[in-house]
């Protein structure tokens, strides 16, 4: 999610002039699609194993905490998404 929002974070910087370009438009459309089909969170189950997925790029960090359901599909319990600031990169 942080990667999808990256073009918007750039536009919000102090000395950057606002210019809506194709990259912003594509990011906006991708973000709308993502939000139209949000993943459903399930409550944590102490008696089942936890799965932890970590994603890191030059611009963002992401974490998903998951369990497997009765059909052995992974279901999200918790998400964390963080866009890195200039001094963090």
Q: Count of domains in the chain?
A: 1
Dist. CA 7–CA 59, nearest whole Å: 11
- 72 is in which domain, residue-wise? 2-88
Q: Where residue 6 sits, what CATH number does that domain have?
A: 3.10.20
Sequence-distant (6+) residues with CB within 8 A of 27 are: 4, 5, 6, 7, 8
Q: What's the confidence (pLDDT) of residue 38?
A: 64
Q: Is the pTM of this model over 0.85?
A: no
Please state which of the ranges 13-27, 33-47, 50-64, 73-87 shows the lowest mean pLDDT: 33-47
The secondary structure of residue 87, as a DSSP letter, is G
Between residues 11 and 53, which one has the greater pLDDT?
53
pLDDT at residue number 26 = 94
Q: Please, what is the average pLDDT of the chain?
A: 88
- Render pLDDT for 11-41 as a digit per residue (tens, 0 to 9): 888 888 888 999 999 999 998 888 888 667 8
């Amino acid at each position: 999610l942080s990667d999808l929002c990256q073009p918007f974070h750039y536009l919000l910087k102090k000395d950057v002039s606002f210019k809506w370009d194709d990259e912003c438009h594509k990011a906006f459309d991708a973000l709308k699609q993502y939000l139209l089909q949000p993943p459903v969170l399930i409550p944590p189950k102490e008696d089942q194993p936890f799965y932890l997925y970590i994603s890191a790029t030059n611009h963002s960090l992401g974490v998903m905490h998951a369990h497997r359901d009765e059909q052995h599909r992974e279901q999200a319990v918790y998400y964390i998404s963080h866009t890195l600031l200039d001094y963090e990169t």
